[in-house]
Structure 1
């Protein structure tokens, strides 16, 4: 009987290994906060696996801008099938790598801009803003912030999409005057973090008066914590938009499954998770609408946004201006 039991165990183990081997794996590179226990990753993984019969594997690769650097470094050897977490400031550079494949989904977006891109699919959007405690006297412009004694935390534009978004925001608002704005802000900057999570954590720990984030960030505190003490400063020059996107790698060994995931990404099952986990506006408004509390958020009077090609052309000059100001 012992030998029969042993043989049965071998058969069961082999069957399990065969079943695991037959389960297709879809690997998605994304940013750290997306796959955190409070981020959208866990719920999206569960929902997609329930209908795909596959293993959805999220791989955290730092912040948004770090995703492109990793994929560019790995090239066609990358294990990723999908990259989720780039934005329109990075899509031109991503396209130039030649690593992404054409994609198409059937959807009517709820974006405040028209969308036509055959390689990248948007899944959420928002406005960059400085988040603060509500009882703080808020500056109403970058100039007012620079003239104040307020301390801010920002993210590095070389590794973080919010950090790069801030460069584009200042450039869009001030053009050739951007270097002077950065010179004025340099004394306000407590530190520059690699990614968003570190910066926001420092703000919550009281290390700074304000942190570069989004107009939607206070919704987290209101909805998840019942805390209405956070708000975002409304700037007269307008606020820069971020549209976050995903794309399929041309070298994917699961191209059909990757297409299926991108189509799933714009369905209600995915989009309804975004507002209260990623704390952004969904690219497609869920059937039940936005959660209660989103109506209280700061609404910019002017939306600023460069085209992907404009952002790509401006990135290096804007980065040089930023580095020069902070090195003084």
Structure 2
């Protein structure tokens, strides 16, 4: 009888303790929480310091995350959103609270009262250098070739939107013609990066829209030097990924602490070799060996957040029109 009462008491205590543990809800993209992604490491690292539980919710790729947040509105459970980029921040800003700025080592100035950067990179077309010996040297060169590519949908994916802005930044009024020329190279348009890259690795295309840093994964994690990013003469469009605290957060102090943790050396080091991007703030130990082999774009392209918002709808319509012909 005493044993039964003791067991019941311990169970009640455990249930009460669990109920008293605050929960931080983080909305992010699918690959962030994959077993090989940064999510599991960041969750364990932050939980070790916060006395809380981190729960991730995913919504496809970065642009889909914003769509999910808008759809949920005031009913959203998200305290923190991780994985928007500066092409989406102007549209997302009304949904977010002000946050404290954090130091960074980004190659361009960053100032946004609603968001903190956590990593960055350059978009690029990745290929297998054991199969493609002479890669294209520009987007126009790619469009003139017979190479088959996989890209992501700009309406749901931040890389997909990044490509549209890359084309617009590089070709301006000639973007529509470029898309018409490129249309017959496109094997398929996927909802997000994970699907596109998986298809490429499965041999379904010659090249895939990804990042200049993607070959570092294969080199460092798999000791495989067969993947390269093509260097394009018109330059490469940058992506700066950000995180922010929602206006509807029920755990604002925990949200602030999590954003600060993302900027720590521990988190930034983890992001380099799990999200395979450059860190927003280079950790004390620097970049891992292997990153020095990556291409360095001759020119960096990037619209401001306001410019990207103004261009976005017309660029998507231009892209849809070209691909529907």
Q: Tell me the distance in 1 between the aligned counterparts of 2:164 and 2:276.
A: 22
TM-score norm. by structure 2 comes to 0.98
Correspondences of 1:2-81 after superposition (within 5 Å): 3-81=1-79
Question: Does residue 146 of structure 1 match 2:143?
Answer: yes
Q: Tell me the distance in 1 between the aligned counterparts of 2:200 and 2:162.
A: 19
Question: Does residue 295 of structure 1 match 2:292?
Answer: yes
Aligned match of 1:206: 203
Q: CA deviation digits over 1:35-76, x for unaligned, max 9?
A: 000001111111111111110111121110000000001112
Aligned match of 2:82: 84
Question: Does residue 99 of structure 1 match 2:95?
Answer: yes
Question: Any gaps of 5 or more consecutive residues in structure 2?
Answer: none
TM-score norm. by structure 1 comes to 0.97
Q: Tell me the distance in 1 between the aligned counterparts of 2:155 and 2:51.
A: 37
Aligned match of 1:126: 121
CA-CA distance at 1:171 after TM superposition: 0.4
Alpha-carbon contact 1:29-1:59 (below 8 Å) kept: yes
Question: Does residue 162 of structure 1 match 2:159?
Answer: yes
Q: Which residue, out of 271, 274, 280, partners 1:274?
A: 271
Q: CA deviation digits over 1:150-179, x for unaligned, max 9?
A: 000000000000000000000000011000
Q: Tell me the distance in 2 between the aligned counterparts of 1:77 and 1:205.
A: 39
Secondary structure (helix, strand or coil) at the match of 2:95 reads: coil
Q: Which residue, out of 82, 95, 107, partners 1:112?
A: 107
Q: Tell me the distance in 2 between the aligned counterparts of 1:176 and 1:283.
A: 33
Q: Tell me the distance in 2 between the aligned counterparts of 1:250 and 1:179.
A: 38
Q: Tell me the distance in 2 between the aligned counterparts of 1:156 and 1:88.
A: 17
Question: Does residue 222 of structure 1 match 2:219?
Answer: yes
CA-CA distance at 1:6 after TM superposition: 2.3
Q: Tell me the distance in 1 between the aligned counterparts of 2:269 and 2:222.
A: 19
Q: Tell me the distance in 2 between the aligned counterparts of 1:30 and 1:67.
A: 6
Q: CA deviation digits over 1:110-160, x for unaligned, max 9?
A: 100011110010000000000001141110111110110000000000000
Q: Tell me the distance in 2 between the aligned counterparts of 1:108 and 1:160.
A: 27
Secondary structure (helix, strand or coil) at the match of 2:105 reads: coil
Aligned match of 2:315: 318
CA-CA distance at 1:327 after TM superposition: 0.6
Q: Tell me the distance in 1 between the aligned counterparts of 2:79 and 2:111.
A: 22
Question: Does residue 236 of structure 1 match 2:244?
Answer: no
